Amino acid sequence: MLPIILQLFKETRDPAFSRAIEYISHDLAREHSPDNGYRRLPPEARSHVRRVGLFYDDVGKLVAFGVVDERLIIGSYGTNIVCMWDDLSPYIYRERILSTKAMLFFEDLAARAKARPLPSVHAELGLAHCPPSE
């Protein structure tokens, strides 16, 4: 399981992944309507959506099948999972109407993250605090 987790962490530290997150957060809705889903977006926008959406869909599969502890994923990415789902869900839901039942595991992961907010996972784990010395 450790190689899987390390690969997940590596992906989210990739500058291209960060650019995709930034694009989705700031530009996607401003530049493109969700009316045609995400598969009909221009190539660069579609690439960003697929990179982030399919990543979280794959992570959602690992969580749903019990391969990776939900607390590890939500404790690490919970806020971002919810934000990305909120930004992408109009495109994903429209895509489901137009073609296929896409990213069901991403949706499940987002629902889990909304039901179990990141601070509650951190509290459950008993993460310690160490504020700066004065």
Q: Count how many Cα atoms sit within 13 Å of the Cα of residue 79 in the half-sphere of its side chain.
A: 5
pLDDT score for 85: 98
How big, in percent rounded to 5, are the helix, strand and coil portions of the chain? 75, 0, 25
pLDDT(106) > 90: yes
55 in Cβ contact with 73 (< 8 Å): no
Percent of the chain whose predicted confidence (pLDDT) is above 70: 100
CA distance 83 to 25: 8
- The answer for residues whose C-beta is within 8 angstroms of residue 50's C-beta and 6 or more apart is 38
Residue whose structure tokens are 């190539």: 43
Per residue in 18-74, pLDDT (tens digit) is: 999 999 999 999 999 999 999 999 999 999 999 999 999 999 999 999 999 999 999
Q: Hey, what long-range contacts does 10-13 have (CB within 8 A, 24 or more apart)?
A: 11/55, 12/55, 12/77
81 or 4, greater pLDDT: 81
82 in Cβ contact with 110 (< 8 Å): yes
CA distance 104 to 42: 23
Q: What is the average pLDDT across 89-117?
A: 96
3-class DSSP state of 131: coil
pLDDT score for 44: 97
pLDDT(75) > 80: yes
What mean pLDDT is reported for the chain?
95
pTM for this model (two decimals): 0.92
